[in-house]
Each structure stands twice: as structure tokens, then as C-alpha cells.
Amino acid sequence: MMIPRLAKSVATLVACAADEIVMHPPAELELIDPVIESPETKRYMPVLSLIELVEMLRKKGFDINVVKEISDKMPVTELGDYNRLY
């Protein structure tokens, strides 16, 4: 597999499965960002977003009922992403 510049997430995983990796001097392999499929939405969500969501809610002492209300109104996958902004 040839990597001219950048392989991100799944591309890094595919490259690692190749018999040979050829990289140009500025090429990089980035981190693998595992994802899982949400059974409700059939969308893929980054595991990191879920971990960040749980950690954010734990630190802020959210009541489980508040968490349920939030998750009913907003995709859970995006909550961890919003937390990264602050």
C-alpha cells in the first residue's frame, strides 16, 4: 500500500493490514479512532465521544434523568464532541 501523504483512522488500519507499506517522506499514519454502530440510529459513533460523554457527566454529577432527557433530544455521539470545544 502506498501512502503519499496522510492515512487517518480506518486508512491507517487498512495500511497496517497490507503486506507492505510505502510512504513518501512527508507521509503520516494517524491514530485509529474506533467506532461502534448505534442500534437506534444506525449511525456510527466514535468510541472516544462516548468515553468523553460519560466522563463529562460523571465529573459534573448529572442525574440519570437529566442524562436521559439530553440523550433523547441530541445524538449522544455529538455530546462528547461539544465537550471538546470547552
Q: Read off the pLDDT of residues 8-64 as tens digits, 9 standing for 90 and up.
A: 888 898 999 999 999 999 999 988 877 778 777 787 777 777 777 777 877 888 777
Burial of 61 (0-12, 13-18, 19+ CB in 10 A): exposed
pTM of the model: 0.46
